[in-house]
């Protein structure tokens, strides 16, 4: 099974199993990681904002216009900011690293 690493706000790294087909948001919730997701992954908020490790950002599909619009509402945006509900785990993303923004 693929794995991914969450870097929590205090810098703690948590590597977890990341089942194929689940979003980063769903994976976080499955493992008790504090990533809100107020709209439950319906792309109607920015509370699942994560910062993708720069080495992984080019491996993701490009953000849609709708995701970009929602990201405009997030605090602490960075160049590799994405919404966790829009990143779906695949074999190619085994080892993905995302950081929870300090301003979340």
Give the CA-trace dihedral at 99, 37, 82, 4, to 10 degrees: 50
Is there a domain that residue 80 lies in? yes
Is there a domain that residue 77 lies in? yes
At 53, is the secondary structure helix, strand, or coil? coil
Identify the band that residue 103 occupies on the pLDDT scale cut at 50, 70 and 90.
Answer: low
Which residues lie below 8 Å from residue 89, measured CB to CB, with a gap of 6+? 2, 4, 18, 19, 20, 21, 22, 23, 24, 27, 96
Is there a domain that residue 56 lies in? yes
pLDDT in tens, 52-101: 999 999 999 999 999 999 999 999 999 999 999 999 999 999 999 999 99
Here the CATH number for the domain that contains residue 64 is 3.10.20.30
**How far apart are alpha carbons 75 and 81 in whole angstroms?**
10
What is the pLDDT, as a whole number, of residue 104? 46
Angle formed at CA 56 by CA 72 and CA 89, multiple of 5 degrees: 85
What is the pLDDT, as a whole number, of residue 27? 98
Is there a domain that residue 82 lies in? yes
Q: Which domain holds residue 28?
A: 3-99
Is there a domain that residue 9 lies in? yes
Is there a domain that residue 24 lies in? yes
**How far apart are alpha carbons 40 and 80 in whole angstroms?**
22
pLDDT in tens, 14-40: 999 999 999 999 999 999 999 999 999
Is there a domain that residue 81 lies in? yes
Is there a domain that residue 104 lies in? no
Considering its fold, how many domains does the chain have in total?
A: 1
What is the pLDDT, as a whole number, of residue 32? 97
């Amino acid at each position: 099974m693929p794995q991914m690493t969450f870097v929590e706000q205090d810098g703690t790294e948590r590597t977890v199993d990341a089942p194929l087909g689940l979003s980063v948001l769903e994976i976080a919730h499955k493992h008790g990681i504090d990533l809100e997701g107020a709209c439950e992954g319906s792309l109607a908020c920015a509370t699942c904002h994560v910062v993708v490790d720069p080495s992984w950002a080019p491996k993701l599909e490009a953000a849609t216009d709708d995701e970009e619009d929602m990201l405009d509402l997030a605090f602490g945006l960075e160049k590799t900011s994405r919404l966790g509900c829009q990143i779906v785990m695949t074999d190619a993303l085994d080892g993905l690293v995302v950081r929870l923004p300090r301003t979340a």
